[in-house]
Amino acid sequence: MSDAVTLRQPEPVVFGDLFATTRAQDVVLVLAAAALVGALAQVSFHLSFTPVPVTGQTLGVLVAGTALGWKRATAAMTLYGVAGIAGVPWFADHASGYVGASFGYVVGFVFCAALCGFLAERRADRSLLSSLPVMVAGELVLYSVGVTWLALSLHVGAQKAIALGLTPFLAGDAIKAAIAAALLPGAWKLSGRR
C-alpha cells in the first residue's frame, strides 16, 4: 500500500474554474474578460436619435459574467470601467474617460455581470433553458441602471429615456442574450464536465 495521498481537483462551479486554480490565473481571466468587453465595444455604430451607441459589449458582459462567477466578473467589469475612465481607450469608438449619458451602461455592466455570475454559480448556465433567463435578468439589471442614468443625465422623463436607451436596442440584445445563453451550455458540454 502506498502512503501517497491523491488530491482531487474540486468540481468547477463556473466555467472559468476549469482554467483558474490560482490567484494569478484569476487575474488573467479578469484581465481577459475586461479586454473582451473592450474589444467588443469597438463593434459599434451610432443611431442618429440617441447618444447610446449600438455595440457588442453586452454580449461580452453576459458571457464574462456567466463564465467567471460573480467575484471575478465584478472585478472584470469594475476594471473595465475604472481603466476606461483612467484613459484606456476601450469604450465604444476607442473612447475613454467619462462618456456622458451612456456611462450608466458601463456602470450597469458591473451589476449585470455580478448577477449573471451569481446565478451561474447556482448551475443556471448548464442548459439553454436555464441560461436564457440568466441572460435576460442580467440585461434587465443593465438597462435599469443605464436608462436611469441616461434619464438623469439628459434631464428627460422615463418614457423619453426608454425611447432613447432601451427600445432601439431590444432586438439586438435579444440576439446577444440568445448567443450567450447558447455559448455557456455548449462550452460545458464540450468540456465534458456538466
Residue with cell 474540486: 10
Count of structural domains, the chain: 1
Neighbours of 134 (CB within 10 A): 25
Q: Which 3 state secondary structure label does DSSP give 93?
A: helix
Q: How far is CA 52 from CA 16, 100, 142, 148, in A?
A: 31, 9, 13, 13
Residue 112 lies in a domain: yes
- For the chain, the average pLDDT equals 92
CA 180-148-72 angle, 5° bins: 40
Residues 6 or more apart in contact with residue 116 via CB below 8 angstroms: 61, 62, 65, 66, 73, 134, 135, 137, 138
The confidence score (pLDDT) of residue 3 equals 54
Is residue 6 domain-resident? no
**pTM, two decimal places:** 0.90
The parent domain of residue 170 ranges over 15-191
> Looking at per-residue confidence, does 125 or 160 come out higher?
160
Write the pLDDT tens digit of every residue in 146-158: 999 999 999 999 9
Q: Which of 3-12, 119-128, 131-140 has the highest average model confidence (pLDDT)?
A: 131-140
pLDDT value for 162 = 97
5 is a domain residue? no
Percent of the chain with pLDDT over 70: 94
Is residue 10 one of the residues assigned to a domain? no
Asked whether residue 4 is assigned to any structural domain, the reply reads no
Question: What pLDDT digit, counting tens, does each position of 47-102 carry?
Answer: 999 999 999 999 999 999 999 999 999 999 999 999 999 999 999 999 999 998 99
Contact 84, 106 (CB under 8 A): yes
CATH number at residue 144: 1.10.1760.20
DSSP 116-137: HHHHHTTTTTSSHHHHHHHHHH
